[in-house]
Structure 1
Amino acid sequence: MFLLALCLNIFYILVDIWSFFRISGIKIKVGFYFYLFLLLIFAVGVIDFIWNISFISDALEMILFYLFFKKYGDIELILGSGIIVGILDLIFSIITTIIMKVTMLNSNLNVELAFGLITLILMVFFVKRFGNKFKIYLSNQNKNIFLGVLIYLYVSSAGVSFLYLLDKRITPFTLFFTIFVIVQSVFAIGVYGEMVYVQNKLLTQRKQQEIRQKQRQLEEYADYLEKSEDDLRAFRHDYKNILNSLKVSAQEGNVQEVIQKLDKYTETNLNSDALLKYKDVNHIHIKSIKSIIISKLTEMYNLNIPYNFECRSGVYNLPNEIDELDLVRIIGITFDNAIEESEALVAEKHKIRSADVQIMVYSDEPGEFEYEIRNKIQNQKISTTQIQQRGFTTKKNHKGLGLANIKEIENKYPDMSISYTIQDGWFDFYMVIDTEDGEKDG
């Protein structure tokens, strides 16, 4: 019997090791498994086998898991995986103890070993079924809250286990405490589940709102293209009559009348803000870049911020080495900074024309991409070095992370060069990517 009990204890440790790696997703060399197994046999197995104090041996096991593997992943993932293993050990141990005491079979070693084997099988099934979900919970944005729930469950389970260790039989107090802990645990899990549900619902609503907003912007852009096409057709239809009218006036020597007619037609038909709203955007053929630019131009148009966007040549491809999303982030951050500064400038000067934003996108070759955005500013004494530091900002209640984030992106790419210039009341952000030049230098 002693040998069977020892074997069962060894199997428990093996299952715990397997469960930990199953939940955490850590992969190590086979030899390290054997080393860890021997360590747990001597450090944990001895305590559990001789003194049968499961919550202490489980706590020691969690500490060893954390110390050994904290460098292999996030702290929450490593610590949480160990705690889950400890909780499962305690829960199955408590269930076995309750069954043994209720049936008065706590003195029968054969039955105890049988229940131990059954709990091992159940634990393997449970971890195999829910291990990946636990890993997700310990890696997502709510991982700290989930870890807190796990710690609470472990402490509660350890308290119940300690009571059953002190009492040789089930008393009203231990029964009440057990029920109380179960209710509290279910409540904690329920609160966490409800919180995640509400959060996901809000996130889904926000994503849907963003999708609808982008759809409206694209529809507006499509309407703009249709209107531009209609205006062009109207101009083609009318231009012969206009030229004939101007020709007659010119032949009669009425030069001043010709000039006045040209000015009036230009002002009413060719110089409309609405027609210039998305000028040159059609030359950009990269969906993500086009989308962010349309979004920001729409925002500036709705805020009545004067701007000019220029993209004379077609942009079909980005340099292969550059992550498209990094460029989207850079364009988004610089546009946001220009918009915020323009709004502040208008609020200070009380004149809409005091603000101005100039944007340029250019790409002549597949390995080349240029982007420049200039905007008028209030404070001309800002240091271009200081504005790139993390946490620097001139705005109230602002974290000042924008240009620091751009600096981190720039550091990822040796072929990306970014410059900042402040001159004559303008802030100029200029970025150039030239992978062809980098290859030649190499």
Structure 2
Amino acid sequence: MSETLSVCILVASLFVDLWMFFKINTVKLELDIQLLLSLLVMGIDLIVYVNLNIFGSLVASIIEIVGFYLIYKDKIDARLVVGSILFICTIDVFGNIVSEIITFENSNLQKYGSIIVLGSIILFTNKYYLKIKNILTGKDSNILLMIFTYLLVTSELILIIPLLIKSYRSFVIFVGVIYASQVLFGVVAYWTLVRIRKRLLREHKQREVIEKQKQLQEYTDYLEKSQDDLRAFRHDYKNILNSLKVSAQEGNVQEVVQKLDKYTETTLNSKALLKYKDVNHIYIKLIKSIIISKLTELYNLDIPYNFECRNNIHNLPHHIDELDLVRIIGITFDNAIEESKALIAEKHNIRSAEVQIMVYSDGPGEFEYEIRNRIQNKKILTSQIQQRGFTTKKNHKGLGLANIKEIENKYPDMSISYTIQDGWFDFYMTIDTEDGEENE
């Protein structure tokens, strides 16, 4: 293959790499500073590749990965930038090996082998770029990045070895076999690790289901115990009242009080009886489940709380997604729990914290939810707490209330307010479809 044709193919390969990068990252190709810097990186790659000979390909790949990461890390997801460049460099090495194999000792094919491989790469990328992007940004992207890195480094080293011993032609088939085994290893490793991740995720979900079943069983036991206590109380109350009546008539008021205290302490465990108070009025399974879960967490942490739902709630407003309300309730409970734990740690007093929760509905078109909790002495603006990324917690992304804001924007008849006053943080949400229809 003539030297001119080799240079042209090399330059074309670099431009194909640049096109693949923009295609996979779905970035519009336009003349800007990023494009100029990208062309500069490609120019450096070309100089390095031509002048370093044996180590040219490996060094050029490293420059390409680092250069594109620095240029695009603030514009594109950094993980996608690195993943796409690793993928492109690995494909380049794969193309080089395939080109050498199909042109082995055949001067006619040698002229066109690289062009055929280059064209195949273009067609493959143009057809599957969205799938490639989804894989590179999926749950298993970190696994894939490690495999691509491994394949790239080992493939470059495999290509360097025969060049060092100056017997490239005699080793080309051997190299192809080794590379094929590396690719097979990468595929098997990826498949195995994905299966392991899915198994761990499945086990995690099973543990969650078991925990929820445990909480629901605990709630059922609570209802049964409360009913048994009520029956026992109804059975005994006449005898108790008669006994107290005699003591009162004899003027033993102190004895009456002591008997009442003793009965309350031994027969009625007030805290346990109030654990799920009013939850039975909620008939929406998902809402009931998340509230039971969070009340259990509060109870187990020994954080003082009060839950109130005085009337029966059978339905939500028809257009409201139950999962959206589950997210809102979950986020606000979590925030209240985290703040209560921090407050207790600061004050060294369990009574310094308190959480109050209220759920109310006056009909199928209305739903209200309020949660209040005591807070630490911090100067926080309600306008700040809804901003994405704002948080008072260490190593926390601060997305909770920003996510709630996004949910609120979905529903015109949903109104959410935040109040910080007298050491309390108050979250109040109301949904009123009837008011919304009147406003329309």
Do these two structures clear the TM 0.5 threshold for a shared fold by scoring above it? yes
* 8 A Cα contact 2:369 2:429, kept in partner: yes
Does the alignment pair 1:208 with 2:206?
A: yes
Distance 1:328 1:215 in 2: 17
Does the 8 A contact of 1:214 with 1:295 survive in 2?
yes
Does the alignment pair 1:230 with 2:228? yes
Deviation at 1:227, TM superposition (A): 0.8
Question: Could you report, residue by residue, the CA deviation over 1:182-227 in whole angstroms, capped at 9, with x for unpaired residues?
Answer: 2332333333333323322322222222222212211111111111
**Structure 1 match to 2:421:** 423
Deviation, 1:335, is 1.1
Provide the secondary structure at the position in 1 that maps to 2:398.
coil
* Aligned with residue 254 of structure 1, among 245, 251, 256: 251
Question: 1:307–1:358: 8 Å Cα contact kept in structure 2?
Answer: yes
CA 1:156/1:62 → structure 2, altered by over 3 Å: closer, same or farther? farther
1:62–1:322 Cα change, 3 Å:
farther
The change in CA–CA distance for 1:401 and 1:84 in structure 2 (over 3 A counts) is closer
Q: Flag the 1:96–1:352 CA change in 2: closer, same or farther, 3 A.
A: closer
Contact 1:59 1:86 in 2 (8 A): no
- CA separation of 1:244 and 1:235: change in aligned 2, threshold 3 A: same
Q: Match for residue 332 of structure 2?
A: 334
Check whether the contact 2:24–2:129 (CA below 8 A) recurs between aligned residues: no
Picking from 396, 399, 424, the partner of 2:397 is 399
* Cα distance change of structure 1 residues 396 and 157 upon mapping to structure 2, 3 Å threshold: closer
Structure 1 range deviating more: 149-158 or 335-344: 149-158
Helix, strand or coil: the match of 1:191? Answer: helix
Alpha-carbon distance in structure 1 between the residues aligned to 2:301 and 2:340: 10
Q: CA deviation at 1:322?
A: 2.0
1:183 alignment counterpart: 181
Partner of 1:296: 294
Contact 2:408 2:416 in 1 (8 A): yes
- 1:241-272 alpha-carbon deviations (Å, 9 max, x no partner): 2233334445x353725455444434443452
Alpha-carbon distance between aligned partners in 2 of 1:71 and 1:133, rounded to the nearest angstrom: 12
**Counterpart amino acid of residue 387 in structure 2:** Q
Structure-1 residue corresponding to 2:162: none
Q: Shift of residue 441 of structure 1? A: 0.7
Question: Which of the residues 411, 424, 434 maps onto 1:413?
Answer: 411
The alpha-carbon distance between structure 1 residues 340 and 108, as it changes in their structure 2 partners (threshold 3 A), is: closer
1:280 equivalent to 2:278? Answer yes
Counterparts in 2 of 1:192 and 1:345: CA distance versus 1, 3 Å: same
| 2:320 aligned residue (319, 322, 326) | 322
Q: CA deviation at 1:276?
A: 1.0
State whether residues 229 and 268 of structure 2, in contact with CA within 8 Å, keep that contact through their aligned partners in structure 1.
Answer: no
Q: Using a 3 Å threshold, how does the CA distance of structure 1 residues 194 and 417 change in structure 2: closer, same or farther? A: same
The alignment's C-alpha RMSD in Å is 4.7
Distance change (3 Å), C-alpha of 1:55 and 1:190 = farther
Mapped partners of 2:392, 2:282: distance in 1:
33
Q: 1:78 to 1:421 in 2, by over 3 A?
A: closer
Shift of 1:432: 1.0
- Over 3 Å counting, the alpha-carbon distance change for 1:387 and 1:93 in structure 2 is closer
Pick one of 355, 359, 362 that aligns with 2:360. Answer: 362
Aligned partner of 2:263 among 255, 260, 265: 265
Following superposition of structure 1 onto structure 2, how do residues 3-14 of structure 1 map, counting pairs within 5 Å?
A: none
What is the number of residues matched between the two proteins?
379
Counterparts of 1:165-176 in structure 2 under 5 Å?
A: 171-176=169-174
**Equivalent position to 1:371, from 369, 372, 382:** 369
Which residue of 1 is the match for residue 310 of structure 2? Answer: 312
Distance 1:400 1:78 in 2: 25
Structure 1 partner of 2:349: 351
| 1:53-82: CA deviation from partner (whole Å, max 9, x where unpaired) | 999878867766775786599999999999
Alignment match, 1:242: 240
- Partners of 1:100 and 1:399 in 2: CA distance: 53
Output the amino acid matched with 1:355: A
- State the alpha-carbon separation in 2 of the partners of residues 82 and 348 from structure 1: 48
Aligned partners of 2:290 and 2:326 also within 8 Å: yes
CA distance in 2, matches of 1:245, 1:262: 11
- Given that residues 357 and 375 in structure 1 are in contact (C-alpha distance below 8 angstroms), is that contact kept between their aligned partners in structure 2? yes
Q: Check conservation: 1:62, 1:83, Cα contact below 8 A.
A: no
C-alpha separation in 2, matches of 1:290 and 1:58:
60
**Distance in 2 (alpha carbons) for counterparts of 1:56 and 1:238:** 95
Is the deviation greater in 71-80 or in 237-246? 71-80
> Is the Cα–Cα contact under 8 Å of residues 62 and 79 in structure 1 kept in the other structure?
no
- CA offsets per residue over residues 289-347 of structure 1, 9 Å max, x none? 11111111111111111111111111211222222222111111111111111112222
List runs of 5+ in structure 2 lacking aligned partners: 29-75, 160-166
Q: Which moved more, 1:57-66 or 1:358-367?
A: 57-66
Q: In structure 1, list runs of 5 or more residues that go unmatched.
A: 1-49, 162-168
- Return the letter of the residue paired with 1:293: I
Does residue 217 in structure 1 map to residue 193 in structure 2? no
Normalising by structure 2, report the TM-score: 0.68
1:391 is paired with a residue whose SS is coil
Within 1, Cα distance between the matches of 2:103 and 2:421?
Answer: 83
Q: Give the AA of the match of 2:435.
A: D
1:21-100 matches, cutoff 5 A: 98=101
Q: Measured at CA, do residues 157 and 394 of structure 1 come closer, stay the same or move farther in structure 2, by a change above 3 Å?
A: closer
| Cα distance in 1, alignment partners of residues 350 and 232 from structure 2 | 32
Give the SS at the match of 1:171: helix
Name whichever of 390-399 and 353-362 sits farther off: 390-399
Counterpart-to-counterpart distance in 2, 1:67 and 1:380? 46
Distance of 1:193 and 1:336 partners within structure 2: 36
Q: CA deviation at 1:147?
A: 6.7
Give 1:145 shift: 4.9
DSSP-derived class of the 1:319 partner: coil
Classify 1:79/1:402 alpha carbon distance in 2 versus 1 (closer, same or farther; 3 Å).
closer
Hey, what's the Cα distance between the residues in 2 that align with 1:92 and 1:391? 43
Amino acid at match of 2:320: I
Given candidates 138, 141, 148, the residue that maps to 2:139 is 141
